[in-house]
Amino acid sequence: MISGMIMIFIAIWIYQSAMKAKVSNVIMWVAGGAILFFFLVFLFQYINILILESARSSEGGIAYEAINGADRKNEGDFTGFSGILKSLYDELSPSIMSFGIIAFLRLKFITKESLSVANLFGGIIEMLQKIKESFKSPE
């Protein structure tokens, strides 16, 4: 759900950046960015599953899963403070890493600006302000 909301914001962000940079095929850039974000989140989520399953401590690691055909219940692995950190990592890292990759590609192929933190995430504040203004009713 978090990734879906971020994907919508990325589509709006790419659209506004492409319109500002006067790039041709704006809709193709928006669709490509959203599809790439979805694919990257899926890929990073799969990698996270492999990492977390290989480090399972409660059932003997990934070998237990392969030999005994265990299911994916991780009752002992996601409890306590370390379990909270594992859950946060598993939920947020695919979205954050995918967002960073999309931001870099937007910078290099759409806006064609130099690499800096300000340019990499430029336009996000303006996008959020325009979204906020769109909810105001005309008087």
Integer distance in angstroms from the first to the last C-alpha of the chain? Answer: 34
DSSP state of 75: T
Please state the pTM of the whole predicted model: 0.78
**Digit-coded pLDDT (tens) for 19-28:** 999 998 999 9
**Per-residue pLDDT, 86:** 81
Token duo for residue 50:
């492999």
Task: Indicate the angle between helix axes 2-21 and 26-54, nearest 10 degrees.
Answer: 150
DSSP state of 121: T
- Where exactly are the structural domains of the chain? 2-134
Per the model's pLDDT, the better-predicted residue between 139 and 112 turns out to be: 112
